[in-house]
């Protein structure tokens, strides 16, 4: 059975994460050892002109579903061992992620986050604002996960007005790189590679570096 990786969100973080990840894992010993990889992308949004400044889309793709546009751009990497599935719906319930082996939440939705946190054993929750990002995963203590997952209105990863004035902040790229590395190393763990470790949960800023580590399960605060 192939390994299923689900990416929730195809915006600033998700589009760049998928664009980096698929070429990296589409061939070679890892995908062969796993028996194949299915990568599913969930998002109901359409590409808008405003998205073009910081998301992995072309002007010719404006008006298309983001997931369909991403899949089209990656078709040449598909094979018997590598499949990309575009799902034009948001994640709202456990059945939406099904039996996914790895889930990455890359959308500002408390509902999608809770679905991933509660219904899969290996998950990563990526969030960004401006040039900073936070990466939370299944290794973080439950109390800290819950405290960081409160209900709030969805927000863009870009600061207010930054797109209009041309002051794009690249925290989404840092988050996407963390996510791609996390998925690849997690796949190596699933395949039985010894000594592999996904990047640690953390908050970081491009300007100021690592801001802090998150408390992991089993750790005792001093």
Integer Cα distance of 107 and 34 in angstroms: 27
Least confident of 85-99, 109-123, 204-218: 204-218
- Angle made by CA atoms 171, 172, 175, in degrees to the nearest 5: 90
All structural domains of the chain with their residue ranges: 3-213
Query: Percentage of residues in the chain with pLDDT exceeding 90?
Result: 81
pLDDT digits (tens, 9 = 90+) for 159-183: 888 888 989 999 999 999 999 999 9
Task: Please tell me the pTM assigned to this model.
Answer: 0.94
Sign of CA dihedral 174, 175, 176, 178: positive
Please give the residue that has the higher pLDDT: either 182 or 149. 182
* Cα maximum dimension of the chain: 54
The CATH class that applies to domain 3-213 reads alpha beta
Tell the residue number behind the tokens 């689900």, with chain if given. Answer: 6
Integer Cα distance of 112 and 38 in angstroms: 20
User: So what's the pLDDT on residue 219?
Assistant: 65
pLDDT digits (tens, 9 = 90+) for 37-58: 999 999 999 999 999 999 999 9
Tell the residue number behind the tokens 């963390």, with chain if given. Answer: 178
Residue 152 above 90 pLDDT?
A: no
Residue 222 has which token pair? Answer: 């001093």
DSSP string for residues in 149-171: --------SSPTTHHHHT----H
Residue 32 above 90 pLDDT?
A: yes
């Amino acid at each position: 059975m192939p390994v299923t990786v689900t990416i929730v969100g195809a915006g600033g973080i998700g589009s760049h994460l998928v664009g980096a990840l698929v070429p990296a894992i589409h061939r070679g010993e890892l995908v062969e050892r796993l028996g194949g990889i299915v990568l599913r992308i969930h998002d109901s949004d359409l590409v808008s002109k405003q998205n073009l400044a910081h998301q992995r889309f072309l002007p010719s793709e404006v008006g298309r579903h983001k997931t369909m546009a991403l899949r089209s751009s990656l078709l040449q990497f598909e094979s018997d061992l590598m499949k990309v599935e575009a799902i034009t719906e948001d994640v709202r319930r456990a059945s939406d992620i099904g039996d996914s082996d790895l889930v990455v939440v890359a959308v500002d939705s408390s509902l999608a986050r809770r679905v991933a946190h509660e219904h899969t054993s290996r998950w990563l929750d990526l969030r960004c604002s401006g040039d900073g990002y936070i990466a939370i995963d299944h290794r973080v203590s439950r109390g800290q996960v819950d405290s960081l997952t409160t209900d709030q209105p969805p927000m863009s990863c870009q600061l207010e007005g930054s797109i209009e004035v041309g002051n794009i902040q690249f925290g989404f790229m840092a988050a996407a790189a963390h996510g791609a590395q996390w998925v690849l190393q997690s796949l190596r763990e699933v395949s039985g590679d010894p000594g592999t470790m996904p990047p640690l949960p953390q908050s970081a800023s491009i300007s100021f570096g690592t801001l802090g580590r998150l408390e992991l399960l089993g750790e005792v605060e001093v």
